[in-house]
Amino acid sequence: MAEKKDNLLNHIDLPVDLRKLKEGELAQVCAELREFIIREAATNPGHLGANLGVVDLTVALHYCYNTPYDKLIWDVGHQAYSHKILTGRRAVFATNRLYKGISGFPKMSESEYDAFGVGHSSTSISAALGIAVASGLNGETDRKVIAVIGDGSMTGGMAFEGLNNAGASQADVLVILNYNNMSIDPNVGGISKYFVQMQASPVYNSLKTKIWKALGKVAWIGPWARRVVQKQNQALKSVVFRKSNLFESFGFRYFGPVDGHDVVGLVRILHDLKAIPGPKVLHVITKKGKGFIPAENDATKWHAAPGKFNIHTGEVFSTTSDVPESPKYQYVFGKTIIELAEQNDKIVGITPAMPSGCSLNMMMKVFPDRTFDVGIAEPHAVTFAAGLAVGGLVPFVNIYSSFMQRSYDQIIHDVALQKLNVVFCLDRGGLVGADGPTHHGVFDLAYMRNIPNMIVSAPMDQVELRNMMFTAQLPDKGPFSIRYPRGNGPLVAWKEEFCEIPVGMGRCISEGDDLAILTIGHAGNFAAQAVKLLQQEGITCAHYDMRFIAPLDMEILNEVNNRFDTVITVEDGIIEGGFGSAVAEIYSSSEKKIRVVRLGVPVRFIEHGSQEELYRECGFDAVGIANTVRKLIKQPKDN
């Protein structure tokens, strides 16, 4: 008899090791995985709730399928920790989301087990269909392709585009709907209500369970009869729900809902489904935060661990000090929009599934009828806002910068072309830190400034954010974009009376004679620090906070052109096509030859790490700016 292993997880380096175990040992593996994830997140905080909820399903999938030959696609990617731990990364998991460590999301260049890179949502079904069709054309007809979609991703329109195409194609794809009634905040909308109805229908589930158990007791016909019933259960669902099943309407065969925390039950169901060809949906019910009581009781708070914590009590260790902390930009947004909404009854707030992430949940409590969570549906959010603007309202649409990329056509066609007064508040503008390249909001300055009629702005501090929001809701402003970073602003005292900022007007932060530094947004604080460092060396720089990239302050640009031969631009955004490029374009037509040195995010995808580490890597933190100034003032202009 084989020696009993005290800790099974320690002996699992790859899924092939997992498949050597008996079914009866899988529950122990799941328990150890949960303990491992909780312990790691307690010291290196990351996405916690969704990962605890999907442990059993992950174990069952890798136990049943021949990964990496069979392709497993995660959607959203922040539920893939168990997958990473079981696929060769347990020993390095302590580096998860840390600078130069492993990514917090599936990443094709990191492992052959990561079949498709994903950090956003609603992409898995389309990707799975593409992989399945390619496998068929390549003669790999035995390959299985599985898409695990959950944490609110099914509310994204792209998921339904994929369902529509996959159902008609008859490709051999399994879509697993991991339903936990949550994204970061509770799911909203008709789709969520439909899934709840399917999950909670006592008539349907009771009847199905009784038939299933009864047939299983008949040894010689049980398995065959169960397959027949599973294939024909549309009639049962139609009778109970009095409507056709959503997935079967798309051409998928639907199975479920089933318990997503019964690992042995999942294994047996997955084995059965492997024998059924064509597009299939398995509806799995899980609990976000499963196995960690604080996370089960408050899934929103524990979507990502809110800091280092006690693994037994869930107590989050305090990081406060006696020094007053400046508030986060998102907090200032949340407080400010309430003040503005109290003054202007036309203001409404919109967010795609991120009310707590962007602090619009503050407005929801005060003005629930004027605040809208539309689910993970950014294109819809923008066009919905356009409709509200046509109706005479002033919508503030708060979307993370990287998520706004999904709705670029709607910004151009539905808002800017029609000159509608929609205010885009782009949270997480710039390098965001540990979430890495899928979440860095580095493209918005470049993609927004090229849109006609669009005012593009970025505050250097919290007071400027308030005043930009105030300015944006004034009459006849048209499309207005305000971007700000993740994290804290520089000011402790930030709540001042509102003041209109003339559109296209910058401000001088400091005077100097050696060269000019032009900045946009929060990165101006790094330049201000650099100016102070250089003053100690006798180097003086004129620093201008431009505040707007479209339109640019031509008065400041002309002043700089007349006074200086060298200009440094600083932005927390992609260096090509952004703020620095806009300045260089202006000066390229000047009769005077002026040297423009652009600092910002280089044209490559920046990996994960802390924001400070990434600013330093890209060379536009205070030290990087100061070093650039020193080099330039020692060089002849033509160098």
Cα gap 467→471, rounded to integer Å: 6
Cα gap 185→132, rounded to integer Å: 33
pLDDT band with cut points at 50, 70 and 90 for residue 183 = very low
What's residue 110's pLDDT?
Answer: 95
Cα gap 287→299, rounded to integer Å: 9
Q: Which residue has the tokens 């027949």?
A: 228
**551: its two tokens:** 């339109």
3-state secondary structure 139-171: CCCCCCEEEEEECCHHHCHHHHHHHHHHHHHCC
What's residue 1's pLDDT?
Answer: 39
Residue 237 makes CB contacts below 8 A (sequence gap 6+) with: 204, 245, 254
- Expressed in angstroms, the distance from the first to the final Cα of the chain is 76
Cα gap 425→188, rounded to integer Å: 21
Q: Is 501 inside a domain boundary?
A: no
Q: Is 3 inside a domain boundary?
A: no
Beta-bridge partners for 367: none
Domain that holds residue 41: 9-297
Answer yes or no: do 601 and 478 share one domain.
no
Structural domains counted in the chain: 3
One-letter identity of residue 239: V
What's residue 5's pLDDT?
Answer: 61
Q: Is 496 inside a domain boundary?
A: no
Share of the chain residues as helix, strand and coil, in percent rounded to the nearest 5: 45, 15, 40
What's residue 149's pLDDT?
Answer: 93
Residue 571 confidence (pLDDT) above 90: yes
Q: Which residue has the tokens 């809701």?
A: 473
Domain limit, last residue, from 281, 297, 313 = 297
Beta-bridge partners for 68: none
Q: Is 60 inside a domain boundary?
A: yes
Give the domain CATH number at 70.
Answer: 3.40.50.970
What's residue 304's pLDDT?
Answer: 82
Of 107, 406, 428, 547, which one is the catalytic site residue?
A: 406
Q: Is 578 inside a domain boundary?
A: yes
Of 40, 378, 464, 571, which one is the catalytic site residue?
A: 378
Candidate from 97-111, 158-172, 210-224, 481-495 with smallest mean pLDDT = 210-224
Answer yes or no: do 457 and 539 share one domain.
no
What's residue 210's pLDDT?
Answer: 53
Pairing of strands 455-457, 548-550: antiparallel
Beta-bridge partners for 186: 182
What's residue 119's pLDDT?
Answer: 81
Cβ neighbourhood burial of 107 (10 Å; 0-12, 13-18, 19+): buried
Helix (H, G, I), strand (E, B) or coil at 594: coil
Residue 564's CB: how many other CB atoms inside 10 A? 20
Helix (H, G, I), strand (E, B) or coil at 256: strand
DSSP 89: I
Domain limit, last residue, from 297, 313, 346 = 297
CA 216 to chain centre: 44
Q: Is 519 inside a domain boundary?
A: yes
**247: its two tokens:** 């997935």
**355: its two tokens:** 């009310």
What's residue 220's pLDDT?
Answer: 45
Give the domain CATH number at 593.
Answer: 3.40.50.920
Residue 420 confidence (pLDDT) above 70: yes
Helix (H, G, I), strand (E, B) or coil at 427: strand
Residue 217 makes CB contacts below 8 A (sequence gap 6+) with: none
Mean pLDDT across 378-405:
97
Of 34, 71, 143, 288, which one is the catalytic site residue?
A: 288
Answer yes or no: do 529 and 468 share one domain.
no
Backbone torsions φ then ψ of 146, nearest 5 degrees? -125, 130
Answer yes or no: do 109 and 256 share one domain.
yes
The question of whether 288 is a catalytic residue gets the answer yes
Domain limit, last residue, from 297, 314, 344 = 297
Are the C-beta atoms of 299 and 26 separated by less than 8 Å? no
Is residue 455 within a helix (H) or strand (E), and if so which, with residue range?
Answer: strand 455-457
The question of whether 486 is a catalytic residue gets the answer no
Cα gap 341→54, rounded to integer Å: 40
What's residue 203's pLDDT?
Answer: 43
Answer yes or no: do 45 and 82 share one domain.
yes
Answer yes or no: do 141 and 13 share one domain.
yes
Q: Is 53 inside a domain boundary?
A: yes
Residue 204 confidence (pLDDT) above 60: no
One-letter identity of residue 104: G
Tens-place pLDDT, residues 490-512: 999 999 999 999 999 999 999 99
Residue 193 confidence (pLDDT) above 80: no
What's residue 284's pLDDT?
Answer: 93
3-state secondary structure 272-335: HHHCCCCCEEEEEECCCCCCCHHHHHCCCCCCECCCCECCCCCCECCCCCCCCCCCEHHHHHHH
Answer yes or no: do 84 and 221 share one domain.
yes
Question: Which parts of 536-619 fold into alpha helices (H)?
Answer: 554-563, 579-588, 611-618
pLDDT: which is higher, 270 or 322: 270
pLDDT band with cut points at 50, 70 and 90 for residue 243 = very low
Mean pLDDT of the chain: 89
Residue 639 makes CB contacts below 8 A (sequence gap 6+) with: none
What's residue 214's pLDDT?
Answer: 54
Answer yes or no: do 159 and 278 share one domain.
yes
Tens-place pLDDT, residues 66-102: 999 999 999 888 899 999 999 999 999 999 999 999 9
Are the C-beta atoms of 23 and 264 separated by less than 8 Å? yes
Residue 235 confidence (pLDDT) above 80: no
Answer yes or no: do 435 and 541 share one domain.
no
Answer yes or no: do 401 and 335 share one domain.
yes
Pairing of strands 394-400, 145-150: unpaired
pLDDT band with cut points at 50, 70 and 90 for residue 233 = low
The question of whether 40 is a catalytic residue gets the answer no
What's residue 213's pLDDT?
Answer: 54
Residue percentage of the chain with pLDDT more than 70: 88
CA distances from 390 to 216, 349, 480 (A): 59, 15, 15
Residue 546's CB: how many other CB atoms inside 10 A? 26
Are the C-beta atoms of 519 and 546 separated by less than 8 Å? yes
CA distances from 472 to 413, 425, 459, 495 (A): 20, 10, 13, 18
Cα gap 337→348, rounded to integer Å: 9
Nearest C-alpha neighbor of 469 from the set 527, 428, 508, 427: 427
Helix (H, G, I), strand (E, B) or coil at 362: helix
Mean pLDDT across 607-629:
97
Answer yes or no: do 376 and 414 share one domain.
yes
What's residue 592's pLDDT?
Answer: 83
What's residue 6's pLDDT?
Answer: 80
Answer yes or no: do 474 and 511 share one domain.
no
Which region, left, alpha or beta, applies to residue 430 given φ > 0 means left and ψ of -120 to 50 means alpha?
left
**325: its two tokens:** 């902390």
Q: Is 583 inside a domain boundary?
A: yes
Tens-place pLDDT, residues 277-323: 999 999 999 999 999 999 999 988 888 888 899 999 999 987 766 66
